[in-house]
Amino acid sequence: MNLPNKITISRIILIPIFLIFMLVPFNFGEIDIINESIPVSHFIGALIFILASTTDWIDGHLARKHNLVTNLGKFLDPLADKLLVSAALIVLVELQLAPSWMVIVIISREFAVTGLRLVAAGEGVVMAAGQMGKLKTVFQIIAISALLLHNVPFTGFGIPLGDITLWIAVILTIISGWDYFAKNMHVFKNSK
């Protein structure tokens, strides 16, 4: 259990804490930021999500820099990412801050790509994440963070950052999913 794996596990542990702050009706009051009010519990939940999201970059960086890449890490890291993003997206639907169809598109793509990776692994093929998929993840995290913060402080400037970046994330989700399958169809053709 090396440091990158411990950081990855901490990301998984933060998910239920994030969910509690976002979904339990705490009466902590509201915080005003640039003429916009946001429940304190949602503000704390958003900060937990942002912290958990940054651990994804940290654990990967440490694992590569110090040659600490392990099979456990290869399993846990994408699992932690998918659990965190899926939990946050479902919370956004529950709070009526994101349309369910967009969330379904994003989560469906994750299931499909994970399934493709499993088939590839069964054939002994390792499939790394592409640049388009990484860009999709960046926009997902920006969109989720902005929406969890009720678009603060951008609502004060009339910029619906959360909505804009969620649309970009959905478009990149579709394009990167299509690209991923197009480049890896050989996995199905070569399988027995």
In this prediction, residue 136 carries a pLDDT of 94
Identify residue 93 by its one-letter amino acid code.
V
Give me the domain span that covers residue 115.
3-190
Contacts of 27 (CB under 8 A, 6+ apart): none
Are residues 155 and 36 in contact, defined by beta-carbon separation less than 8 angstroms? yes
> What does each of the 192 residues of the chain score in pLDDT, given as a tens digit?
789 889 999 999 999 999 999 999 999 999 988 778 899 999 999 999 999 999 988 988 888 888 888 888 888 888 899 999 999 999 999 999 999 999 999 999 999 988 888 888 777 777 777 788 889 999 999 999 999 999 988 887 889 999 999 999 999 999 999 998 888 888 777 666
Number of structural domains (the chain) is: 1
In this prediction, residue 41 carries a pLDDT of 95
In sequence order, what DSSP letters do the residues of 93-135 get, joined into one string? Answer: HHTTSS-HHHHHHHHHHHHHHHHHHHHHHHTT---PPPHHHHH
Measured CA to CA, the distance from residue 85 to residue 100 in angstroms comes to: 14
How far does CA 104 lie from the centroid of its chain? Answer: 14
CATH number of residue 50's parent domain: 1.20.120.1760
